[in-house]
Amino acid sequence: MTESGARVFDTHRSFLAGLAYRMLGSIAEAEDIVQDAYLRWAQVDLFTVTHPRAFLARVVTRLCLDRMKSAASRREQYVGTWLPEPIVAAPAEPMADDLSVALLVTLERLSPLERAAFLLREVFDMDYADIASALDRSEQACRQLAARARQHVRHERPRFPASDDNREKLFAAFEAVMTSGDVSEFARLLADDAVLYADGGGKRAAVLEPVHGKQNILRLFATIAAQRRFLRRDQLQRAAINGLPGFVVHAEDGVQTTAFEAEDDRIVAVYVVRNPDKLQHLAS
């Protein structure tokens, strides 16, 4: 590859990695896809490419669609709840709304083509001609795919970020649960219709079905507290998990992430990832 070709690719690398992650929900697989796209880009005559971003988006989208075909059977056999591989940042670091766990889980329920059309149009603002080229479908078909996806996404409950003050209360409440078993403050923050999702992938202990309702979630935490496997505060790392306030938890049996989604300063969803395959980038 020429130096200019490498520079052009690097200009779009972040965009391509973001597209692949949103399609697949996996950092590692997204990196593999981008590397494959780079190798294909190296074989291209640059003088034949008018719009590199659209061209590379087509390459990455098709690579992702191929990967998702093989992933479909694995997802059917997946043990328990599937959650995306967490992206972890500093607690105050801003992150795009379209990286939220709730949206990625919603996209997982769409067909691969619907997911691609939605992302390319709604997240990356590509025109329908380029989307049609990427998906090898007509523009009208792509408009219909994106419209169906939008309708499905709209059915999901709207979420609002926790205020700074409530985020601090949330951090302190969870630290109290994990270090002493005191759930009193956590209970005050938990909405009556909250839901807890846990992803162990069949490789670590985790509830297999979502836990619905405040009282059921509190009973789960009480059961954990009864085992008296309390943590030290230095085992709890405050973080932003896909833009949500949360923790990287370094427990004796391995690392996990716990993220909290808020609405009107009440916790409405808890997302726990314990599958070690999704946490390798955090284990060190």
Q: What is the structure's pLDDT at 128?
A: 96
Are the folds of 3-88+97-154 and 164-282 the same?
no
Q: What is the structure's pLDDT at 228?
A: 64
Q: What is the structure's pLDDT at 231?
A: 85
Q: Model confidence at 75, in pLDDT bands (50, 70, 90)?
A: low
Least confident of 17-21, 29-33, 53-57, 99-103: 99-103
Q: Model confidence at 221, in pLDDT bands (50, 70, 90)?
A: confident
∠ CA 190-234-281 to the nearest 5 degrees? 85
Sheet arrangement for strand 211-212: 88-89, 236-241, 244-251, 254-263, 266-273, 190-199, 211-212
Q: Model confidence at 118, in pLDDT bands (50, 70, 90)?
A: very high
DSSP 44-84: S-GGG-S-HHHHHHHHHHHHHHHHHHHHHHHHHT--S---P
- CATH number for domain 3-88+97-154, candidates 1.20.120, 1.20.140, 3.30.70, 1.10.3470: 1.20.140
Q: What is the structure's pLDDT at 1?
A: 59
CB of 108 closer than 8 Å to CB of 128? no
Percentage of the chain surpassing pLDDT 70? 93
Residue 92: C-alpha distances to residues 22, 38, 87, 170, 190 (Å): 22, 33, 14, 14, 22
Parse the chain into domains and list their residue ranges. 3-88+97-154, 164-282
The larger pLDDT score, comparing residue 123 to residue 163, is at 123
Q: Model confidence at 258, in pLDDT bands (50, 70, 90)?
A: very high
> Average pLDDT of 5-33?
93
Q: What is the structure's pLDDT at 246?
A: 93
Q: What is the structure's pLDDT at 50?
A: 86
Nearest to 119 by CA among 6, 24, 249, 233: 24
The larger pLDDT score, comparing residue 98 to residue 269, is at 269
Mean pLDDT of all residues belonging to the chain: 89
Long-range contacts formed by 165-174: CB under 8 A, 24+ apart: 166/262, 166/265, 167/91, 167/245, 170/245, 170/260, 170/262, 170/267, 171/91, 171/238, 171/245, 171/247, 174/236, 174/247, 174/258, 174/260
Q: Model confidence at 157, in pLDDT bands (50, 70, 90)?
A: low
In CATH, the number for domain 164-282 is 3.10.450.50
Q: What is the structure's pLDDT at 197?
A: 96
> Average pLDDT of 242-249?
92
> Average pLDDT of 41-51?
86
- Inform me whether the pLDDT recorded for 163 exceeds 90: no
Q: Model confidence at 198, in pLDDT bands (50, 70, 90)?
A: very high
Q: What is the structure's pLDDT at 4?
A: 79
Whole-model pTM: value is 0.87
